[in-house]
Structure 1
Amino acid sequence: MRLFLALEPPPELRARLGALADIARARCGGRRVSDASLHLTLAFLGEVEAAQAEALVAWLQGETPAGGEWHLDCWGAFRRPGIVWVGGRTPDPALTALQARLWDGLERLGHGGRPSRFMPHVTLLRRSRHLSTEALPPVELAWRWRRLTLLRSFTLDDGPRYEVLARSA
């Protein structure tokens, strides 16, 4: 099964991110990420065997992140595969520390694939035709986070869907 660790936005923030996705889609085209699928990926694990997934669930349920507040204040785009996102202009020390600590634990559990850099963002659009974000409105959002989620990813005809396998304490 295809797994990743993420932060999920609270409902009010999820709705605000969804509204930004609608604005971005009107200007950039592409496929909008559904509100239910909006998240911040901390660690993509890829294909994981069932026994490893069970160990991850147990490990995550024992994790107690300190929490923090991430400020989203910019738009961005990744040329491949046409992704439009929102994120922060400056690195967030708490998120960076959390992501590094998670990878330390994941490596102790035998998972590889730690990325060489971490660029926190929330994907709003995929396969966008126009990646220029200059004309999009200013972003000023605060995301208070404190819980981690282990998600399983399914790819359907209309895009990815996620199933929650576990949450941290």
Structure 2
Amino acid sequence: MNSSPNTPEPTRRLFFALWPTEPIRQALAEIARSVVCRGNPVSARNFHVTLAFLGPVDARRRDCMERMAAEVEAEPFVLRLNRMGCFSRAGIAWSGASRTPQGLISLVEGLHGRLAECGFIPEKRPFTPHVTLFRKARVESGSHKAVEWAVDGFCLVESSTLPTGARYRVLRRWPLRDDP
């Protein structure tokens, strides 16, 4: 069956992210269990740091974005997650860094710059690297036992909304290079 020219092309809800290893997920899950918080806990399998939320993307734009992601030049870095915070308006309790490493800043700026060539418009609010631990939550800000995450790549992730909650699936990965 052929689609008519007026039929919209199917899209997928996508974002670029840092995707933690299993030991990092477990360390963050331990932090979440230690926090006194009323809210809905996020499954450890969904822990990530969003670099660029793309929203619904058709196949043509996805191809462009994947080509641009491959051109991003950034070096590996260590992300030290050591503080709890809350986006109170959104009800998001998170673990984040008290200091954003230069490598992460370079990665985000490089990725956003490349994605602009595909029509991506980044959010205007400042980038706050964080891993969401709870939704519909309130938590006091403060420090927690540090989780040292050696970041050596980033990925493209598909987000699906199911009756049981969000499901994320890594579609593709790119390594960070020591000598960009």
Q: Same fold (TM over 0.5)?
A: yes
Matched with 2:20 is 9
Compare the two structures and name the one with the higher strand fraction.
Answer: 2
Where in structure 1 are there 5+ consecutive unaligned residues?
Answer: none
Q: SS state of the match for residue 78, structure 2?
A: strand
Q: Which runs of 5+ in 2 are unaligned?
A: 1-11, 176-180
**So what's the TM-score if we normalise by structure 2?**
0.83
C-alpha deviation, 1:35, in angstroms: 1.1
Q: What corresponds to 1:145 in structure 2? A: 151
Distance 2:59 2:75 in 1: 29
Residue 28 (structure 1) aligned with residue 37 (structure 2): yes
The structural deviation recorded for 1:131 is 2.3
Residue 117 of structure 1: SS of its match in structure 2? Answer: coil
Aligned to 1:46: 55
Deviation sequence 1:118-159 (CA, Å, 0-9, x none): 11111100011x32245xx72211110011110011112232
1:131 aligns with 2:142: no
RMSD, matched Cα: 1.8
Q: How does 1:88-107 map to 2 (within 5 A)?
A: 88-107=97-116
Partner of 1:68: 77
The aligned amino acid for 1:10 is T
Deviation by residue 1:12-40 (Cα, 9 ceiling, x = unmatched) = 1111111222223xx21211111111001
Higher-RCO chain (CA-CA 8 Å, sequence separation at least 6): 1
Consecutive aligned runs of 4 or more in structure 1 exceeding 6 Å deviation: none
8 Å contact from structure 2 (residues 72, 111) kept in 1:
no
Partner amino acid for 1:22? R
User: Does 1:119 find its partner at 2:119?
Assistant: no
Name which of structure 1's ranges 83-92 and 108-117 shifts more when overlaid on structure 2: 108-117
Instruction: Name 1:19's counterpart in structure 2.
Output: 30
User: Percent sequence identity over matched residues?
Assistant: 32
Paired residue secondary structure (2:14): strand
Q: Is the 8 A contact 1:67 1:145 kept in 2?
A: yes
Matched letter for residue 162 of structure 1:
Y
Bigger Rg over Cα:
2
Match status 1:157 vs 2:163: yes
Aligned residue pairs, count: 164
Q: TM-score, normalised by structure 1?
A: 0.88
